[in-house]
């Protein structure tokens, strides 16, 4: 299968391959996002050395595993070394036996798993790079890992022997909707934009999840089979992902579950209160690891004239898991199909579609022909009191050209109808926003819906811009 998207990543790899000095590349990103596939596909599985860590291995098992790779690659029968310093020294000796002027690509996958407690793995890696690889002119060392915090703290932000040694980094992001569509097209899966968005609201742009989608089935059928059948691959995915990523996954799951159960957006202080974690350091470390691994996002939320940074779950699968999979009982046929008219389904689909829109701000700005205009993006709310009703705006794009786009985002199966009552509600939102923010900028109300707004006497009264879901695929 050929690569979909990944244009910037391929450009970086092209540059590294053409380099006349040794290069050290760190690749990180959410588990299942396609890091290993990117490197394997680009280099056509042709490496001067390749090894991958063991998910649950201790130091001895990791060293044994590494030695097996060395023996297989260089047709030898070395005994297992007693330390990582000896292991990397052994690798250097084998690489030295095969002198070459061509680019020598060394790929070590799932490196964080190799760094077991008190193993001195980093000492061995420092020795390999500083004593040998950096002195060459044609080595490309590629290290990869899903534990983003480990990759950042131990490699990219290293303050010891590997300080400033990583010469390039790739943070691999999930597919956007256009790339997801291209991925399905390559697999001969024919789905319209509405169906693709339904799948995206469950799986995000994670290639491994998208790869499980079967041709000839609707989005709803695929979701039921993958998430609710007893043998569905995404039914038990949650526990696997977290146990393989974090050594103390209970804290990470607790934070995510708390955010979900308390309304979907919490400040750091609120999380400290609700999770009852004993120290601020523990919550900060957990939040950092979740954010760097792509499970939460720190968002700017403006409310009652004060700005707060709140943490939200940004991973689509995690949100869907908490909402539906975690509470699902024994599988019954059509269990998901019967959810369509359920209020919880409508609430989830509305919030999930908002999240899809937040993940495609670049596409939204492009559709509005403001792609080159500097802007800030946030959500906004105001609490009600005895005199005024509370109000919330799904998405705000605050532009440098003295315009603010206020978005009303609606997920529906048909054209969205603006009634007299809804028109009044929209006007009240705009008025509240103007009063609370005291902005002097022009306000453009923008409707972003799946199938557009049904024309009637209210559809153009206060709406300056209208976008459909097709804009998200640009």
Mean pLDDT of 79-95: 97
Q: What is the mean pLDDT of residues 2-24?
A: 95
Q: What is the pLDDT of residue 393?
A: 92
Sequence-distant (≥ 6) Cβ neighbours of residue 414 within 8 angstroms = 451, 454
Complete domains list, the chain, with CATH: 7-172 (3.40.50.300), 177-235+328-353 (no CATH), 238-325 (1.10.10.10), 361-473 (3.40.1350.10)
Which band of pLDDT confidence, cut at 50, 70 and 90, is reported for residue 99?
confident
pLDDT of 181 over the 70 cut: yes
pLDDT value at position 383? 77
Sheet strands (E) in 370-459 = 375-382, 391-399, 403-410, 442-449
Tens digits of residue pLDDT in 259-305: 999 988 898 889 999 998 877 788 888 998 899 889 999 888 775 55
Give CA–CA dist 63/142, Å, rounded.
19
What was the pLDDT predicted at 305? 54
89 band by pLDDT with thresholds 50, 70 and 90:
very high
- Burial of 288: CB neighbours in 10 Å, binned 0-12, 13-18, 19+: middle
Predicted confidence at residue 252, as pLDDT, reads 94
- For 335, residues 6+ apart whose C-beta sits below 8 A from its C-beta are 224, 228, 328
Residue 341, pLDDT score: 79
| Residue 387: per-residue pLDDT | 66
Q: For 417-456, write each residue's pLDDT tens digit.
A: 999 999 999 999 999 999 988 999 999 999 999 999 999 9
Bridge partners (DSSP) of residue 24 are 141
pTM: 0.93
> What confidence tens digit (pLDDT) does each residue in 226-249 have?
999 999 999 999 998 998 888 788
Q: Give the pLDDT of residue 126.
A: 96
pLDDT at 245: 86
**Sheet of 296-303, strand order:** 306-313, 296-303, 375-382, 391-399, 403-410, 442-449, 463-468
Is residue 83 pLDDT above 70, yes or no?
yes
pLDDT at 306: 54
Query: Regarding predicted confidence, which is higher, 387 or 297?
Result: 297
Q: Count how many Cα atoms sit within 13 Å of the Cα of residue 251 in the half-sphere of its side chain.
A: 19
Could you give the maximum distance between any two Cα atoms of the chain, in Å?
81
Instruction: Decide if 121 contacts 84 (C-beta within 8 A).
Output: yes
How distant, in Å, are the alpha carbons of 37, 44, 299, 455 from that of 2?
A: 10, 11, 35, 43
Q: Residue 51: its pLDDT value, please?
A: 98
pLDDT interval class at 381 (50, 70, 90): confident
At residue 386, the pLDDT reads 61
């Amino acid at each position: 299968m050929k690569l979909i998207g990944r244009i910037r990543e391929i450009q970086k790899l092209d540059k590294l391959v053409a380099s006349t000095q040794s290069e050290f590349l760190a690749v990180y990103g959410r588990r299942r996002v396609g890091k290993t596939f990117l490197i394997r596909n680009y280099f056509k599985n042709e490496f001067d050395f390749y090894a991958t860590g063991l998910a649950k291995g201790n130091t001895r098992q990791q060293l044994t595993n590494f030695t097996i790779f060395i023996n297989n690659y260089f047709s030898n029968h070395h005994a297992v070394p007693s330390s990582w310093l000896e292991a990397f020294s052994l690798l250097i000796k084998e690489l030295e036996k095969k002198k070459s002027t061509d680019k020598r690509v060394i790929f070590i996958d799932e490196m964080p798993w190799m760094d077991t407690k008190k193993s001195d793995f980093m000492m061995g890696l420092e020795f390999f790079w500083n004593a040998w690889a950096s002195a060459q002119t044609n080595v490309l060392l590629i290290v990869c890992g899903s534990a983003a915090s480990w990759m950042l703290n131990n490699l990219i932000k290293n303050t010891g022997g590997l300080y400033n040694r990583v010469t390039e980094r790739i943070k691999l992001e999930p597919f956007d909707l256009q790339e997801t569509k291209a991925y399905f097209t390559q697999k001969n899966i024919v789905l319209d934009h509405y169906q693709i968005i339904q799948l995206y609201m469950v799986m995000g742009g994670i290639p491994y999840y998208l790869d499980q989608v079967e041709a000839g089935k609707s989005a709803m059928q695929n979701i039921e089979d993958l998430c609710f059948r007893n043998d569905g691959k995404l039914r038990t995915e949650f526990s696997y992902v977290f146990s393989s990523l974090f050594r103390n996954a209970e804290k990470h799951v607790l934070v995510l579950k708390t955010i979900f159960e308390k309304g979907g957006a919490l400040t750091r202080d609120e999380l400290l209160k609700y999770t009852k974690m004993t120290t601020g350091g523990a919550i900060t470390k957990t939040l950092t690891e979740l954010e760097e691994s792509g499970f939460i996002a720190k968002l700017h939320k403006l409310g009652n004239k004060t700005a707060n940074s709140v943490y939200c779950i940004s991973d689509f699968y995690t949100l869907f898991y908490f909402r539906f999979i975690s509470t699902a009982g024994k599988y019954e046929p059509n269990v998901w199909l019967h959810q369509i008219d359920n209020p919880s389904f409508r609430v989830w689909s509305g919030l999930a579609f908002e999240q899809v829109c937040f993940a495609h701000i670049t596409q939204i700005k492009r559709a509005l022909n403001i792609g080159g205009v500097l802007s800030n993006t946030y959500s906004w709310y105001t609490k009600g009191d005895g005199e005024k009703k509370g109000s919330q705006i799904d998405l705000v794009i605050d532009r440098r050209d003295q315009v603010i786009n206020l978005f009303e985002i609606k997920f529906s199966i048909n054209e969205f109808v603006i009634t007299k009552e809804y028109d009044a509600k929209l006007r009240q939102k705009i008025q509240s926003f103007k009063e609370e923010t005291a902005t002097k900028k022009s306000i453009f109300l923008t409707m972003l819906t799946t199938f557009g707004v049904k024309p009637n006497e209210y559809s153009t009264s206060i709406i300056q811009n209208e976008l459909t879901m097709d804009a998200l695929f640009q």
